[in-house]
Structures are given as C-alpha cells and as structure tokens.
Amino acid sequence: MMTILSGVGLLLVALAGFSLFSLKMPKGQLAMSGMANAAVATFLVEAIHKYITGDLLGIDFFRTVGETSGSLSGVAAAIMVPLSMGANPVLSVVAGVAVGSYGILPGFIAGYLVGMLSPIVEKKLPEGLNIILGALLIAPFAHLIAWASDPVVTVLLTRIGGTITAATEQSPIVMGFLLGGIMKMICTSPLSSMALTAMLGLSGLPMGIAAIACVGGSFTNGIIFARLKLGNKSNVIAVMLEPLTQADIVTSNPIPIYCSNFFGGGLAGISAAVFQIINNAPGTASPIPGLLAPFAFNPPLQVVLALAFAVAGGSLAGFVGSLVFKGHKKRAAETASAVTVGA
C-alpha cells in the first residue's frame, strides 16, 4: 500500500509542479506544447520505425531512422520549445544542436531559457549582427544549462519514474486504474500527457497503461461531447483524435468531462494492466501515438484485445457520465481553440 501511495503521491507532486509551470510561468503552455511536439518527433518515430518497421519487419534502414530519432530528444526539445515560444528559428536551432546528446528534460530547460533570452539578444545586439553574435552567445549558454541541469533532473525524475514503476509492478490493477485515470485527465486538460510521460521517462507497463488509457478515454470524450451536445460533429471527432484542439470547450465544461475521463481512463488502464501491455517509448501518451506505439513491444493480438476492452471501458464511462451529468448546463467556450500536435 505504501508503494502505491508513494507512486501516486510523487506523480501528483510532479503534476502539480508541471501544472504550475504551464499555467504560471511566462509562455509556459507554449513551452509545454513544444515539448509534446518534440516527443512526437523523436519517441513516436523511434517506437514505430525502430521496433515495428525495423525489428519486427527486419528493415535495417528504418531501424537506423528510429534509433537516430530517439537519441535526439533533447535536441528536438531545445529547438521546438523556443520555436513554440516565438523565438528566432536560427537561434532555436543553435540551442538544439548545442545540447548534443542530453535528454529531453535538460533540452527542455535549455530551450525554455533560450526562448526567453533570444528576443532580448536580437533586440539589444546591432541589427545585421544580432543573428551571428546571438548564435555565438546562445550556443554555449544552452549547453551550459543542459550540462548543469542534467544530473539534478536525472536523479529526481528517475526516482519518480522508478517509484511509479515499482507501484505498478506490485499492484498492476490498482495502479492501472489510478494511473490510467490521472493520465487521461491530463491528456484532456490544457496540459500535456506526452510531455509529462516524456519528462518522467516512463516505460514498460506504466507507459503502456498511460498510452492505452489515452486511447480508451478518447471514446469517453467522444460520447460525452455527443450526448451532452458540447459542440458539433466536428468537435466530437476532434476531441477524440486530439483533445487539446478542444481546450476551450473542455475548460468551459470541466466537471462532466474530467470526472468521466478519470473513470474512462481508469477502466482502459485496467485493460492495459490485465493484458500486460508494455510500452518502451516514453512520451507517447496521446490517442494516436498511444494507439500505435504498443504494437512495437507486444504481440499484435494482445494489443488488439487490450484496445478492445479499453474502448469498451471508455465508452461505458462516457455513457454513464452522460447520464449522471445529463442536467449539466453547458457553457459556451470563451476563447478560440488552441491547436497543437501533442496532448
């Protein structure tokens, strides 16, 4: 029991810090969007091309593509994060190549600080020389930040990820429900489940639970949106494929959506735990990546069965949620939808 409490507690602490950064730090949500997109560009490509088209189908070219992509997660984060924050593309790439082989979180930290610094550098340096001099300043700055932050974040996140993994191995069904429910709520919120799982370096069964939960919970969202008439058919399809495209509707109607999502993701997570779905591609906790990545690490029939029960559980939670909240007075979205790649 203590292991379960520690695992869930550390996950919630990480989520709280993650949420505070996203919601309170300047351009925090933009930075998280960049992190999620970096996870797609590296971990998803690695999962599909290294393990499926590479190892499973035996095509060495694709295996090399996957291995190369997966090894550059820190570079991708250090580029995508400042780009998402509106930084100069040249200086963003300078930051990325400077972090070399560091992981995704040191790359994220370096990229965020570069995203804040690069507009000042461009403004203060003489026009015409700002890009050249800026590149010469940004490169050592980004490398220094990644070098300094790497030991700290490695120890901290390894501890959190290890505790979650231990709790899942000890009580897979319980953690399947709790971890699946929490991850699906994050997947549907304006935060990023892809970024969080990438930062924690989740792999194995916990990552399998997170991925399958996002798939099963997408049917929860679809049914809730359809039966409570939260938008039109396009909104229903969009929220199933990528929840963040409907962030305005979600944040305007949080209670029925998040409550239903917790149970939908939880039931889907139990399915992943029962079928022992392994996923060694961190950062693939989103409906589409979550659907594809498990095939790289498990027998196809095992994944299909897990997905079938996850969809059934997610659909059941959506239907029950629509009955429980049928009297919910929907609120119109107050802002335009924010479209992003990663959940």
Residue 167, both tokens: 């709790």
Residue type, 19: S
Other C-beta atoms lying within 10 Å of the C-beta of residue 42 = 28
DSSP 25: S
Range of the domain at 27: 2-324
Nearest 5 degrees, angle CA 343-CA 22-CA 95?
85
- Tokens representing residue 272 in the block: 């992943």
Whole-number pLDDT of residue 335: 41
- State the 10-residue block means of pLDDT for the chain, 343 residues long: 70 72 83 82 82 82 90 92 93 93 88 93 80 90 93 78 79 88 80 74 89 93 88 86 74 81 92 93 82 89 95 93 77 45 53
Asked whether residue 192 is domain-assigned, the answer is: yes
Q: What is the DSSP string of 52-96?
A: IIIIITT-HHHHHHHHHHHTTHHHHHHHHHHHHTT--HHHHHHHH
In a domain, 332, yes or no: no
Under 8 Å between Cβ of 313 and 162: no
Q: What is the pLDDT of residue 334?
A: 45
**What is the model's pLDDT at position 7?**
67
Asked whether residue 334 is domain-assigned, the answer is: no
Distance, in Å, from the CA atom of 219 to the CA atom of 316, rounded to the nearest integer, reads 9
Q: Indicate whether 340 belongs to any domain.
A: no
Residue 137 burial (10 A CB sphere; 0-12, 13-18, 19+): middle
Q: Which residues, including other chains, have CB under 8 Å from residue 172's CB and lie 6 or more apart? A: 205, 273, 274, 276
What's residue 329's pLDDT? 60
- Looking at residue 339, its pLDDT comes to 43
- Counting the structural domains of the chain, the total is 1
Q: Which among 165, 232, 164, 157 is positioned nearest to 195, based on CA atoms?
A: 157
Backbone angles phi, psi at 47, to 5 degrees: -60, -45
Indicate yes or no: pTM above 0.85.
no
Residue 249 belongs to some domain of the structure: yes
- Domain membership flag for residue 342: no
Q: What is the rounded CA–CA span in Å between residue 277 and residue 205?
A: 6
* Domain-embedded: residue 329: no
DSSP string, 282-300: TT--SHHHHHHGGGGTS-H
Decide: 243 and 289 in contact? Cβ < 8 Å: no
Query: What's the half-sphere exposure (Cβ side, CA atoms, 13 Å) at 219?
Result: 23
Q: Is residue 247 part of a domain?
A: yes
Sorted by sequence, the CB contacts under 8 Å of residue 19 that are 6+ apart come out as 191
279: its two tokens: 């996923």
Q: What is the distance between the alpha carbons of residues 213 and 220, in angstroms, rounded to a whole number?
A: 10
